[in-house]
Structure 1
Amino acid sequence: MEESKHIRMRCSLLFASLLIIDCFVSEIYASSDSTIFYESFNESFVGSWIVSENEHYSGVWQHSKSEGHDDHGLLVSEKARKYAIVKELDKPVELKDGTTVLQFEVRLQNGLECGGAYLKYLRPQNAGWTAKRFDNESPYSIMFGPDKCGATNKVHFILKHKNPKTGEYVEHHLKSPPSVPSDRLTHVYTAILKPNNELRILVDGKEKNKANFMSSDDFEPSLIPAKMIPDPDDEKPENWDERSKIPDPDATKPDDWDENAPMEILDEEATMPEGWLENEPEEIDDPEALKPEDWDDEEDGEWEVPKIENPKCESAPGCGEWRRPMKRNPDYKGKWHAPLIDNPNYMGIWKPREIPNPNYFELDKPDFEPIAAVGIEIWTMQDGILFDNILIANDEKSAKSIRDSTWKPKFSELVEKAEEQPKITVSVVVSIVVIIFSILLRMLFGGNKAVQTKVSL
C-alpha cells in the first residue's frame, strides 16, 4: 500500500513537471516554422474562439480540466445539445503543396453513445460571413474526427472537393475509416496529407488507415467521376422482355386436379379419448364468489358470477363436447399453375446506353481548398467531451513531438491508474474473505481460543 502511494506521488510530481514543461513547449511549438496553428487551451478560449450565436446551438462550452489531471481543454458541458464554436486563422492555410498534418486530442469522459467529436476545417467563407454565424451550412474543406451513433462508429475523414466542370462541391468519404476507441481515456487523432496524394490516419500515433486521394477504392464517391455514365434520356423499349422464365403455354391442367379440395379434413379415424368428461363444462361458476355489497343492479347491471376452471377437468383428458380433430387432406393440391420454361424472347435486363460524362475531369492531385478557420459543430447526447491540443503543421515530426509531450503523459498516467485500481480492489476482496473465514472458524470451533488474523490492505 505504501509502495502504491509512493508510486502515485511520483507519478503526480512527474505529471506536474510535465505540465510546466508543456507550457513552455506550447509557446515553442506556436512559434515553430513547421507549426502553422496550435491551440493548447492552457488559457481560456474566451475572446480567441467565437461561440456561434445561432439559436440552434444552445450547448455551453467551458474551459475545464480533464478528469484526473490538471491539463485544461475545451469542454462540452451539457447533454443532448448542439454546439458550435470557431477559431479564424490569421491567414488561410494552403494544402496544395507539401505535407499537411491535422491533429487534435479528444477525451470522451462519459463515453459516446450518440454524437460527434470531430473538427471542421473551414474554407474561406462568402463575403459577409462572420464567426458568430458559424453553423452546419458553413462550408468546410475537410471534416475529421470521431462520430458514433447506432451502427455508425468511425473516425471520419471527409474531403469537400470542387468539380471544375460544374463548380459543385462534393463530399468524398474515406471508405474504411478506423473505429472510435471505446474507453474514456484521452486519444489523439492525426491526419497526414502527403504531396504524393497519400493520406494516413493515425490514432494515438499508430497508423490505422492509409489511402490515396485519387483511388476509387479509397474514397466514396471517387474524386475523379466516371468517364462514361448511363444516358439519363435513354428509355427502355416497350417490347423489351426482361422475363427469363415464362409459364409453359402448352401445359394443361390434369383431369384429376381438384383445385377446390380443402387443405384439411376431419380425421374420421380419431376416437374420443378414454375418460373424456362430455357432461362437464370446461368452466364453472366460482362457488366462493359473492356479490359485492355496493353492487347496484340499476347502475352496474345484473351481477354475474365469475367463472373458474372446472377442477374435475384437471385430471381428465378434456371436458365438454368432443369434436373430431382436423388432419391434412391427402388429395389437396391447391391452385394449378403451368410450369415455367425458358423464355424464348428473353432479352436480358435492360440498361440505358452509356454516354460520355459531361462532368468528367482529370486531375493529377486533389485541388484542396485552403483552411481559413477551425470549427467544432456537433450534436451529442453525451456531455464531458474534452477537446485539446489542436494542431495544423507541415511536418510530421512536429506533430509527433506534440503528441509525445502533451498526450502521452496524460494517457500513460490514466492507464497506470486504471491498472492500479484492480490491484487495490483485489486486496480489499481478499481481506473481506479472510475476515469472513475467521468468523466461520470461531462459529464452528467455539470462542475459547481466538483466531488471530492479520489483515493487510
Structure 2
Amino acid sequence: MRIAAAVCFMSALAFIAHADVYFKEQFLDGDGWKSRWVESKHKSDYGQWKLTSGKFYGDAELDKGLQTSQDARFYALSSRFDSFSNEGKTLVIQFTVKHEQKIDCGGGYVKIFPADLDQTNMHGESQYYIMFGPDICGYSTKKVHVIFNYKGQNHLIKKDIKCKDDELTHVYTLILRPDQTYEVKIDNEKVESGSLEEDWDFLPPKNIKDPEAKKPEDWDDRAKIDDPDDTKPEDWDKPENIPDPDAKKPDDWDEDMDGEWEPAMIPNPEYKGEWKPKQIDNPKYKGTWIHPEIDNPEYTSEDTIYKFDNVGILGLDLWQVKSGTIFDNFLITDDVEEAEKFGTETWGATKGPEKKMKDQQEEEERKKREEEEKSKKDDDNEEDEEEEDEDEPEQEEHTEEPSEEEEEGEDDTIPKDEL
C-alpha cells in the first residue's frame, strides 16, 4: 500500500514538474541565429539586424540579442518552431526588450503566427494570432499591446497598460489560460489581469438595452431646480464696464483730427454678473432613470476564445524611427513557473550589473562634459584677456630734456649767500 502511494506521489511530482517549452532563443551561439531566423523579402528595404549586447550590459555574452540597426525602417524577421495547439493548456509568451537608444517612436513587440505563414513574405498585413509587447511613440503612446485574433479579426485590449520607457532591459510576459483569463507581467511583476470576454470585444454584449423601454414622460431626473420664490434685486443690473472717472481729455486733443474724445472703459466694481435664481432640491426628483436591459439574442457563450490551433512562428514585424532596440530571451511555454524561473535566470541575473555599468558610463560622460566645459571656459577667458591686452594703448616712457633757456636760467641764479 505504501509503495503504491509512493509511486502515485512520484508520478504526480513528475507530472507537475513537466513543462513544455515550445520555443527558446538566447542567441548564445554567435552567428548561428542566422540559420534559425528568416528575413522577409516582402520589401527590399527592411532594416538590418545585428547581434550585440549593446553599449551597456550585465554580461557581455548572455546579454547578446538582436538589435535594430537602421533608423526609420520597417523590420521583418521570424523564427519557426514545432507547431502546437494550446487547447486545454496555459500559453506563456515572454521576451526581453532594451531600448538603449532612448526610443522616440517605434515598436518593441512580437507577433505569434500560425505555422502556415510564408516567412519570406511576412509583412504588416500578415494575419497573426497574438501581438504582444511595448509600443512607444512620443509622449502620448507608451503602452503594452495585447491583441488577439478571433475569427479573422484583430481585437485590442480595452485597458491601458503602461510600458517601461527607460533605456534598461525589461522582461515582458503574457499568460493566457484555458479558463479564458489572462495576465500581463513586466519584470516578473503582475501589472494587469482579467477575463478575455470582459476586456476585449470578442463577443456581442450579454445584455442590451430594451428597445421597447422608454423613460416615462413625467420622470423628473433634475436633482436641483430654480427657486420659484427667488427674485432678482432691483439694483442688480449694472453695466460690466464704465468710463474711467479719472480719465481726462489730453490738452492737445483735436476733435477735427482725432474725432470725438471718449474716456477709456474700466471694469465696473458694482457689476454682479448675470443673475440666476438660487437652486433648491427638486421635490419631484425621481433619480437617474436607468434603461432596463434584456438578454442579447445575438450573444452566444464561447469557451474557446483563448485557443489557437496551429501556433508555429514568432515574428518581429515592426517600425522604428530611431533604431537600437535589443530583443532577447524569447520563451514560449505552457508553464508559468518555468517562465518566471527563466526570467530570473536571465534578466534577473544581469539587470543589476547592467544598471551599474550604465550609471558608470553616465558618470564618466558627465565628468568629461564638465572638463570640456571648464576647458572651454578657461580658453574663452584667456582669449578675452588677450583681447584686452591688445586693446590697451602702448605708453612710451621718455624724459624731457630741459630747454637751453632753462639751463641758462639755472646758471644765472645768484646764490643766497652772495646777496
Q: Is the 8 A contact 1:213 1:366 kept in 2?
A: no
Residue matched to 2:263: 324
1:115 pairs with 106, 113, 127, which one?
106
Shift of 1:415: 1.7
Deviations, residues 405-449 of structure 1 (Å, cap 9, x unaligned): 4434443332222344577689889999xxxxxxxxxxxxxxxxx
Distance across 2 between alignment mates of 1:85 and 1:422: 33
Partner of 2:149: helix, strand, or coil?
strand
Q: Is the 8 A contact 2:114 2:312 kept in 1?
A: yes
Residue type matched to 1:278 in 2? D
Residue matched to 1:54: 42
Distance across 2 between alignment mates of 1:191 and 1:151: 23
Partner of 1:140: helix, strand, or coil?
coil
Task: Please say if 1:76 is aligned against 2:63.
Answer: no
Residue matched to 2:95: 104
Distance across 1 between alignment mates of 2:180 and 2:99: 32
Residue type matched to 2:200 in 1? E
Deviations, residues 179-233 of structure 1 (Å, cap 9, x unaligned): 32232122222223344544333323x22235243562xx233x554222246x8
Residue matched to 2:146: 157
In the superposition, relative to structure 1, how do residues 331 and 398 fare at CA in structure 2: closer, same or farther (>3 Å)?
closer
Task: Please say if 1:213 is aligned against 2:153.
Answer: no
Q: Is the 8 A contact 1:235 1:352 kept in 2?
A: yes
- Farther off after superposition, 136-145 or 39-48: 39-48
Residue type matched to 1:147 in 2? D
In the superposition, relative to structure 1, how do residues 50 and 352 fare at CA in structure 2: closer, same or farther (>3 Å)?
farther
Aligned pairs for 1:364-443 (under 5 A) are 366-421=306-361
Deviations, residues 84-125 of structure 1 (Å, cap 9, x unaligned): 2222333x2211223332111211120222221100111355
Partner of 1:373: helix, strand, or coil?
strand
- Farther off after superposition, 139-148 or 193-202: 193-202
- Farther off after superposition, 386-395 or 409-418: 409-418
Residue matched to 2:385: none
Distance across 1 between alignment mates of 2:124 and 2:370: 55
In the superposition, relative to structure 1, how do residues 280 and 356 fare at CA in structure 2: closer, same or farther (>3 Å)?
closer
Shift of 1:171: 1.2
Q: Is the 8 A contact 2:177 2:306 kept in 1?
A: no
Residue type matched to 1:88 in 2? R
Shift of 1:34: 3.0
In the superposition, relative to structure 1, how do residues 89 and 271 fare at CA in structure 2: closer, same or farther (>3 Å)?
closer
Distance across 2 between alignment mates of 1:418 and 1:328: 60
Residue type matched to 2:37 in 1? W
Distance across 2 between alignment mates of 1:58 and 1:235: 59
Shift of 1:335: 11
Q: Which has the larger radius of gyration?
A: 2
In the superposition, relative to structure 1, how do residues 114 and 347 fare at CA in structure 2: closer, same or farther (>3 Å)?
same
Residue type matched to 1:325 in 2? A
Deviations, residues 367-415 of structure 1 (Å, cap 9, x unaligned): 3444221111212222101112222123345434543444344433322
Relative to the length of structure 2, the TM-score reads 0.62
Partner of 1:104: helix, strand, or coil?
strand
2:20 pairs with 34, 48, 62, which one?
34
In the superposition, relative to structure 1, how do residues 338 and 40 fare at CA in structure 2: closer, same or farther (>3 Å)?
closer
Partner of 2:31: helix, strand, or coil?
coil
Distance across 2 between alignment mates of 1:327 and 1:426: 55
Relative to the length of structure 1, the TM-score reads 0.58
Q: Is the 8 A contact 1:241 1:347 kept in 2?
A: no
Q: Is the 8 A contact 1:144 1:157 kept in 2?
A: yes
Q: Where does structure 2 lack aligned partners over 5 or more consecutive residues?
A: 1-17, 373-419
In the superposition, relative to structure 1, how do residues 366 and 133 fare at CA in structure 2: closer, same or farther (>3 Å)?
same
Residue matched to 1:186: 169
In the superposition, relative to structure 1, how do residues 174 and 411 fare at CA in structure 2: closer, same or farther (>3 Å)?
farther
In the superposition, relative to structure 1, how do residues 104 and 266 fare at CA in structure 2: closer, same or farther (>3 Å)?
closer
Q: Where does structure 1 lack aligned partners over 5 or more consecutive residues?
A: 1-31, 163-167, 282-318, 433-457
Shift of 1:262: 7.8
Aligned pairs for 1:335-354 (under 5 A) are 354=294
Task: Please say if 1:66 is aligned against 2:53.
Answer: yes
Aligned residues: 344
Partner of 1:110: helix, strand, or coil?
coil
Partner of 1:184: helix, strand, or coil?
coil
Q: Is the 8 A contact 1:100 1:192 kept in 2?
A: yes
Distance across 1 between alignment mates of 2:37 and 2:80: 8
Q: Is the 8 A contact 1:143 1:159 kept in 2?
A: yes
Shift of 1:146: 0.8
Q: Is the 8 A contact 2:80 2:115 kept in 1?
A: no
Residue matched to 2:252: 279
Distance across 2 between alignment mates of 1:185 and 1:280: 72
Distance across 1 between alignment mates of 2:341 and 2:171: 12
Residue matched to 1:139: 127
Percent identity, please. 27
In the superposition, relative to structure 1, how do residues 184 and 272 fare at CA in structure 2: closer, same or farther (>3 Å)?
closer
Shift of 1:39: 2.2
Residue matched to 2:392: none
Partner of 2:171: helix, strand, or coil?
strand
- Alignment RMSD (CA, Å): 4.9
In the superposition, relative to structure 1, how do residues 393 and 338 fare at CA in structure 2: closer, same or farther (>3 Å)?
closer
More helix by share: 2
Deviations, residues 114-142 of structure 1 (Å, cap 9, x unaligned): 221100111355xxx52222223222222
Distance across 2 between alignment mates of 1:176 and 1:334: 43
- Farther off after superposition, 322-331 or 100-109: 322-331
Distance across 1 between alignment mates of 2:177 and 2:121: 32
